[in-house]
């Protein structure tokens, strides 16, 4: 018999709030539910983006490399690996595939012959524009039903949570 661990469930109250009501953070276990919610939102967003970007024949990992290069073209490969939190070999494979697809090119660094700089090609720049259009469309769908103030508040709150998490990581290094 296959037994699965039971996740904690929310205790029902006599007068349950409407589905669109703000959750009560002081309820028992709210922090655990928050963790699950953040994980689920992140996972579903990744899945939705993967599906939405599939017609462009680009993986999420390749997407991130291209986005970083769009912001900082000509990065040294090892610096890019650190930013993406990837091993040098893993990033090397990604760069190989992007280069084979004609989306990036490698170039020598003027001051260090061992270092390789990564540059977007014209095809890579064109693809990023297509990716951005699709990304904007997807974000509109994700944020449907949120007005401008809600969107701003959500961005502010998530930014603060991100900073708190970054501080925790730094403190534990």
Structural domain boundaries in the chain? 57-142, 144-173
Entry field: residues in the chain: 173
C-alpha span between 98 and 128 (Å, rounded): 13
Residues near 48 by beta carbon (within 8 Å), at least 6 away in sequence: 138, 142
Taking the alpha carbons of 86, 90, 92, 93 in that order, is the dihedral positive or negative? Answer: negative
The model's pTM:
0.69
Q: What is the pLDDT of residue 10?
A: 42
CATH 3.90.76.10, domain 57-142, yes or no: no
C-alpha span between 44 and 58 (Å, rounded): 18
Show the tokens assigned to 162.
């991100």
- pLDDT truncated to tens, each residue of the chain (173 aa)? 444 444 344 444 444 444 454 555 556 676 678 889 999 999 999 999 989 889 999 988 899 999 999 999 999 999 999 999 899 899 999 999 999 999 999 998 888 888 899 999 999 999 999 999 999 999 999 999 999 999 999 999 999 999 999 999 999 98
């Amino acid at each position: 018999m296959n037994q699965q661990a039971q996740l904690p469930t929310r205790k029902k109250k006599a007068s349950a709030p409407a589905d669109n009501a703000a959750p009560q953070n002081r309820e028992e276990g709210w922090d655990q539910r928050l963790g699950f919610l953040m994980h689920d939102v992140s996972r579903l967003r990744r899945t939705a983006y993967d599906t939405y970007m599939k017609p462009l024949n680009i993986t999420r990992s390749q997407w991130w490399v291209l986005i970083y290069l769009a912001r900082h073209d000509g990065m040294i490969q090892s610096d890019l690996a650190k930013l993406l939190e990837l091993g040098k070999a893993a990033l090397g494979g990604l760069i190989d595939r992007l280069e084979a697809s004609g989306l990036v090119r490698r170039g020598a660094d003027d001051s260090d012959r061992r270092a390789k700089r990564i540059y977007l090609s014209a095809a890579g720049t064109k693809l990023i524009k297509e990716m951005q259009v699709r990304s904007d469309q997807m974000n509109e769908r994700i944020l449907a039903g949120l007005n401008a103030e809600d969107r701003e508040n959500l961005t502010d709150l998530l930014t603060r949570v991100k900073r708190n998490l970054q501080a925790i990581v730094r403190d534990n290094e």
